Amino acid sequence: MSALLEQIQTKLAQLDNRERWIVSAGALFLFVTILFYGVWKPMKANNANLLQTNKVNSETLVWMQKSVQEIKQLQQSASGNSAFHGSLLSLVDSTTKTSGLAAQVKRIEPSGQDRVRVWLEQVSFDQMTDWLQTIDKQGVSIEEVSIDAEVVPGRVNARISLTGSFSE
């Protein structure tokens, strides 16, 4: 490297003042051009890209924070809807009525505070399973089920034992 510098200095020393000035100006121009196009311009373009990415990420963060709030509200409202205050017997009675099973309920027998036996006759199997899903969402556990098929397709007789504890 030092040999190369010595050759350059020797060549520059052989030039007259005007030629040295032109070569120095050309070298300075070349250095500034390389600095501008090789360093400054790529840094500026990268900075613009980073600013745009930052803006997009900030917007995404704001959207996510709003979504978190909405999710929390929906979870609270969903858990508020599923929380039943009353006895298991009253829950079973009200849900059979709202599910359209009141006519098929032949007997509801409480067995303590947290257990109920239900007899359904000539009930649509699909309607019964929908009702069981509904009460399952309310926190009721199905302890025992006995289902007998009827002559009419899709109709069954069922004896179901349910458990669950609710606040009065």
Between the alpha carbon of residue 107 and those of residues 1, 34, 87, 110, the distances in Å are: 103, 93, 17, 10
C-alpha dihedral sign at 35, 38, 44, 46: negative
pLDDT digits (tens, 9 = 90+) for 34-73: 999 999 999 999 999 999 999 999 999 988 888 888 887 7
Q: What is the pLDDT of the chain when averaged over all its residues?
A: 88
